[in-house]
DNA sequence: CGTAAGGTTGATAGGATTCAATGTACGTGG
DNA sequence: CCACGTACATTGAATCCTATCAACCTTACG
C-alpha cells in the first residue's frame, strides 16, 4: 500500500553510524555491527501501517529515520499508544508469534527490517550481544512501567507536561529549543490516555503559563522553561497550576 | 527487619517442581534447573519490604510461595503498583544498578534470591537459557503494556472486572471457585489507578450483579460468572453495567 | 468486650469527557 | 489567485465519572 522499498544507497553504514550518536539508550554499537549486515531498509509514508495486531511476526525492526508509534486498539474503539519509537530504537520483537501491537509511522519513516531468527543467532554468538539485548528489554520494560505510573496516577496537566519533558530530554532540547513532534492531537491523546480536547486545553494552559510555545505550524513546540515543565509534571497543584 | 531465613528443608526441589506446573508463562524448566543450585531461600512476613527504590541491585528473585507487589511511589505520595508477582515468577532484575521499584510481600512469602551475575552466566551458557530469559522479558513487557492500556483506557468497573478476570484465569479458577487475594483495598486501588472507595463500590456492583461474591473474610472472592466478568471488562456499558 | 485497622456507604466537589460550535491551515479546482 | 472544502485544533457548556471528605460498619485481636 504505502510501503515501498528504499534504494539501499540512501541509508547505509554511514547514515547509521551517525545516527547512533544521538540515541538515548538501547543501541550498543555491538548490536548494530551485527545488524548492519542482515537488514533490509523499508520506507513508509505518513500514517502507514508497518504491522498490525494479529499479524504473523516474522521480523523485528530498527527505526532509522522518522517516528513510529505502537498502539493497542480495544473492541470499543478506544486506543492506547504504548510506545513512541524514535530513531535508533529497536521495536517489533515483543510478540511471540502473533503481533500484539500495531505499529504505524507518524511521518515519513525509514525502517530496517530483520528476520526474527537473527535474535536467536545473537544468543548463539557473543555474550556481549546477549547482554545488550537483555539490557534493551529491561530498559524498555522500565519505561513502560513509568508510562503506567503516568496513566494511573497523574493528572491531565501533569501528563502533558511529562510527555513534553520526556521528549525534550531525550532529544536534548534546551530552553528556547524547538521540539519537532509529528503527532496529531489524536495520537497525543491516545498516548496520554486523555481526550483530544483535554490535551488541547492543557497545552494552552502550559502556553499561557509561559512554559512552552505552540507553533501554528502543526507539530512544533518551543520549550520555554524545561525546569518548570518538570515541576508541573511532578505535581501540578504544588506548582500552582491545575 | 521482618526478614528471616527459611530453613531450606521447607522449600526444595520437590516444592518447586510442583509449583512449575501451574504457572502461566515465564518459567521454562531450563532456567529453574540452573537456578535451583544457585539460590538462597528467604522468608518474609506480611507487608515486608524485599527491596526499595534507590537500593543497590545486587540480586534478582524468584517467588516460591506467597504474593509480592512491585510499586513506584511518586513525590506527592501517590503510589502505582506496576506488577503483581505470583509464585514461580521471576522479579527484581529490571533495574540497572539502582532499583527503580519497591518490592513488598503481601502475605507470608518465600523468595529465592540469586546474585545478578547469574544472569550473565546464563548468557554464557546454552542459547536455550538465553532464549528463555528473553522470552520471559518479552512476556513481562507485554503484560505491562496491557496494564498500561487498562490504566489509560478503561473505566473503574472495567478495571476491577479485568483484574479479577486476569487472576482467575492465571490461577485457573472456574465458576464457583475461590480466588484468594491477600491484597488490601489500598493495594487493589493502587494497582488499578483508583481510590479505595471506588474499588469498594465497583466490587459491590459486581457482587450485586451476581458475577462475584465477596467473603467477609478479607482476601477471598468467589468467581460466580467468569464469562460475564470478561464481558464487563471489555465494555461495561455495552454489558449494561456502569 | 473494647479498641484499632480496614471496608463500605453517602454526600459533595472536581476534573475530564462529551457534544457542539468556532477557528485555522492547507490543498484543490474554478 | 482566490474560493471553497476538508482536516485538524481550539474553545465553550453541560454531563458524567471518580476522588474526596465524612460517617458508619465490620473484622480481628488483645
**How do residues B153-209 score in pLDDT, each as one tens digit?**
999 999 999 999 999 999 999 999 999 999 999 999 999 999 999 999 999 999 999
Alpha carbon distance A105, A77 (integer Å): 20
CB spacing of A127 vs B120 below 8 angstroms: yes
Specify the DSSP element, H or E, that contains B188.
helix B185-192
Please tell me the predicted confidence (pLDDT) of residue B216.
85
A133/chain B closest Cα distance in angstroms: 8
With an 8 Å Cβ cutoff, is B192 touching chain A? Answer: yes
Flag the least confident range among A29-38, A217-226, B217-226.
Answer: A29-38
Please tell me the predicted confidence (pLDDT) of residue B132.
79
Per-chain mean pLDDT for chain A: 85
- Of A151, A172, A194, the residue that ends a domain is A151
- How confident is the model over A6-15, as a mean pLDDT? 33
**How do residues B39-67 score in pLDDT, each as one tens digit?**
889 999 999 999 999 999 999 999 999 99
Same domain, A36 and A144: yes
CATH number of the domain at A120, please: 2.60.120.10
- Mutation for testing the B interface, residue in A95, A148, A193 having most B CBs under 10 Å: A148
Please tell me the predicted confidence (pLDDT) of residue A35.
66
Percentage of residues of chain A with pLDDT beyond 90: 69
Please tell me the predicted confidence (pLDDT) of residue A123.
59
Nucleotides of C under 7 A from a protein CB: 6-11, 15-20, 24-26
Please tell me the predicted confidence (pLDDT) of residue A18.
32
- Mutation for testing the B interface, residue in A123, A137, A145, A192 having most B CBs under 10 Å: A145
**How do residues A21-41 score in pLDDT, each as one tens digit?**
333 344 456 566 566 667 889
A201: pLDDT strictly greater than 80: yes
A219: pLDDT strictly greater than 70: yes
- Of B127, B151, B175, the residue that ends a domain is B151
**How do residues A104-117 score in pLDDT, each as one tens digit?**
999 999 999 988 88
Same domain, A65 and A115: yes
Searching chain A, which residue's CA lies closest to the CA of residue B153?
A: A193
CATH number of the domain at A192, please: 1.10.10.10
Of B131 and A29, the one with more pLDDT: B131
**Is the C-alpha dihedral spanning A47, A48, A51, A55 positive or negative?**
positive
Contact B68, B111 (CB under 8 A): yes
Alpha carbon distance A97, A122 (integer Å): 19
CB spacing of B141 vs A144 below 8 angstroms: yes
Same domain, B125 and B225: no
With an 8 Å Cβ cutoff, is A28 touching chain B? Answer: no
Overall domain count for chain B: 2
Same domain, B134 and B218: no
CB spacing of B94 vs A141 below 8 angstroms: yes
Same domain, B225 and B175: yes
- How confident is the model over A71-97, as a mean pLDDT? 91
Searching chain A, which residue's CA lies closest to the CA of residue B125?
A: A127
Same domain, A121 and A93: yes
A14: pLDDT strictly greater than 50: no
Quickly list DSSP for B36-62: HHH-EEEEE-TT-EEE-TT-B--EEEE
Please tell me the predicted confidence (pLDDT) of residue B49.
95
Please tell me the predicted confidence (pLDDT) of residue A37.
67
B75/chain A closest Cα distance in angstroms: 7
Same domain, B17 and B109: yes
**How do residues A129-162 score in pLDDT, each as one tens digit?**
777 788 889 999 999 999 999 999 999 999 999 9
Searching chain A, which residue's CA lies closest to the CA of residue B70?
A: A145
Please tell me the predicted confidence (pLDDT) of residue A45.
92
Using pLDDT thresholds of 50, 70 and 90, give the confidence band for residue B236. Answer: very high
**How do residues B58-96 score in pLDDT, each as one tens digit?**
999 999 999 999 999 999 999 999 999 999 899 998 767
CB spacing of A130 vs B130 below 8 angstroms: yes
Same domain, B43 and B132: yes
Per-chain mean pLDDT for chain B: 85
User: Cα dist. B77→A153, A223, A235, B110 in Å?
Assistant: 10, 28, 10, 28
Contact A109, A92 (CB under 8 A): no
Contact B123, A171 (CB under 8 A): no
Same domain, A172 and A204: yes
A180: pLDDT strictly greater than 90: yes
Of B234 and A18, the one with more pLDDT: B234
Q: Which domain holds residue B17?
A: 3-151
Amino acid at each position: 500500500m504505502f510501503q515501498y522499498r528504499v534504494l539501499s544507497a540512501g541509508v547505509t553504514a554511514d547514515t547509521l553510524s551517525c545516527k547512533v550518536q544521538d540515541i538515548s539508550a538501547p543501541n550498543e554499537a555491538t548490536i548494530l555491527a551485527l545488524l548492519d549486515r542482515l537488514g533490509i531498509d523499508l520506507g513508509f509514508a505518513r500514517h502507514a501501517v508497518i504491522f498490525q495486531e494479529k499479524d504473523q511476526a516474522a521480523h523485528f525492526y530498527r527505526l532509522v529515520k522518522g517516528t513510529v508509534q505502537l498502539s493497542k486498539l480495544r473492541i470499543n474503539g478506544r486506543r492506547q499508544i504504548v510506545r513512541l519509537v524514535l530513531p535508533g530504537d529497536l521495536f517489533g520483537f515483543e510478540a511471540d508469534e502473533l503481533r500484539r501491537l500495531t505499529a504505524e509511522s507518524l511521518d515519513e519513516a525509514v525502517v530496517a527490517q530483520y528476520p526474527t531468527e537473527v535474535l536467536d543467532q545473537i544468543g548463539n554468538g557473543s555474550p556481549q550481544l546477549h547482554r545488550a539485548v537483555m539490557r534493551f528489554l529491561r530498559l524498555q520494560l522500565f519505561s513502560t512501567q513509568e508510562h503506567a505510573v503516568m496513566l494511573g496516577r497523574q493528572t491531565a496537566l501533569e501528563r502533558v507536561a511529562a510527555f513534553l519533558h520526556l521528549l525534550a530530554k531525550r532529544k536534548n532540547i534546551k530552553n528556547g529549543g524547538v521540539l519537532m513532534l509529528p503527532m496529531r492531537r489524536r495520537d497525543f491523546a491516545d498516548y496520554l490516555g486523555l481526550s483530544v480536547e483535554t490535551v488541547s486545553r492543557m497545552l494552552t494552559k502550559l502556553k499561557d503559563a509561559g512554559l512552552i510555545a505552540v507553533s501554528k505550524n502543526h507539530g512544533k513546540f518551543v520549550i520555554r522553561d524545561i525546569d518548570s515543565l518538570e515541576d508541573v509534571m511532578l505535581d501540578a497543584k504544588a506548582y500552582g497550576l491545575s
